[in-house]
Chain A
Amino acid sequence: GENVEQHPSTLSVQEGDSAVIKCTYSDSASNYFPWYKQELGKGPQLIIDIRSNVGEKKDQRIAVTLNKTAKHFSLHITETQPEDSAVYFCAASKNSGYSTLTFGKGTMLLVSP
């Protein structure tokens, strides 16, 4: 089955800096890659996703890049703010009719004022 590796497990940055979280996947058939943000006491919230027919997608301060050849994708957050502090999860799935998500282990991002 699919295996998703996520790095780093923790990331500390100063407010205003950029943060990058990287994930690799094992199944070359995977074609959908969402990113979730989970705050304390809450469920994971989708923040951005990308499909394998594009290489990059941006939404304000958040961007995701995908390298299908290398089977890795990354989340980029620019101009970080304290409210960006949370656990971020990457995931992968394939369009096999009834797809399921395989998640990375998560990255705890701490943005210091």
Chain B
Amino acid sequence: DSGVTQTPKHLITATGQRVTLRCSPRSGDLSVYWYQQSLDQGLQFLIQYYNGEERAKGNILERFSAQQFPDLHSELNLSSLELGDSALYFCASTRDGSNQPQHFGDGTRLSIL
């Protein structure tokens, strides 16, 4: 158990809809990272937050947004969903934002019908 909690485990929705994925980092971790994992693209970094502030952006679409709340949990919002957004979405956390091992949750599987 990594200590990182992601909910829900599975999400099924339709094109054009909006969903919110939730992540609770390990106790004491201030930094949260979001990744998308698909069969053809592997693990792609989306965005990083540190203590409530955005710190780094990767290949995140404009239809996607995230935030980190004062209690340090984070939410990833995906809107105007397309079939290609079907993927596993992982959250990871570290103590701070520096070069440290990232600990991953078990992900949310998003299926767009």
Contact = CB atoms under 8 A, between A and B. Distances in A.
Interface of A: 31-32, 34, 36, 41-46, 49, 89, 93-95, 97-106
Looking at chain B's contact residues, the main secondary structure is strand
Contacts of A98: 48, 50, 55-56, 97-98
Nearest to B107: A43
20 contacts: A32-B99, A34-B101, A43-B2, A43-B6, A43-B92, A43-B105, A43-B106, A43-B107, A44-B104, A45-B2, A46-B101, A46-B103, A89-B42, A94-B99, A97-B98, A98-B55, A99-B98, A101-B33, A101-B45, A105-B42
A46 B92 CA distance: 11
Given A43-B2, A45-B2, A98-B50, A31 B42 contact: no
B42 A104 contact: yes
B98 A100 contact: no
